[in-house]
Copies of this chain bind each other. A is one copy, B any other.
Amino acid sequence: MPGSTFGTLLKITTWGESHGKGVGVVIDGCPPKIPLTEDMIQKMMDRRKPGSSIASTSRREADKAVIMSGVFDGMTTGTPIMIMLFNTDADSSSYSPFSELFRPGHGDISYQAKYGIRDWRGGGRASARETAARVAAGAVAKAILDKENISVKAYTIELGGIEAKKRDVDLISKNPFCCPDADAAQDMENRVIEVRKQGDSVGGIVEIIAKGVPAGLGDPVFDKLDADLAKALMSIGAVKGVEIGAGFAAARMTGSQNNDPILPQGFATNNSGGILAGISNGDDIVARVAVKPIPSISIEQKTIDKQGNPQTLSVKGRHDVSAIPRINVVCEAMVCLVLADHLLRQKAIL
Interface residues of A (CB under 8 A from B): 1-11, 13-17, 20-24, 26, 28-29, 31-33, 66, 68-70, 72, 75, 77-82, 102, 104-107, 109-111, 113-119, 124-126, 130, 158, 160-161, 195, 198, 200-205, 215-224, 226-235, 237, 240-264, 268, 271-273, 275-282, 290-297, 299, 301-304, 308-310, 344-350
Contact = CB atoms under 8 A, between A and B. Distances in A.
11 contacts: A31-B349, A79-B125, A110-B280, A114-B346, A202-B254, A227-B234, A241-B241, A241-B247, A242-B242, A257-B293, A259-B301
Contacts of A69: 15-17, 20-23
Contacts of A257: 293
A117 B77 contact: yes
A279 B110 contact: yes
A5 B9 CA distance: 12
B9 A1 contact: yes
Contacts of A28: 2-5, 13, 15
A277 to B, nearest CB: 2
B105 A258 contact: yes
Contacts of A277: 106-107, 110-111, 126, 237
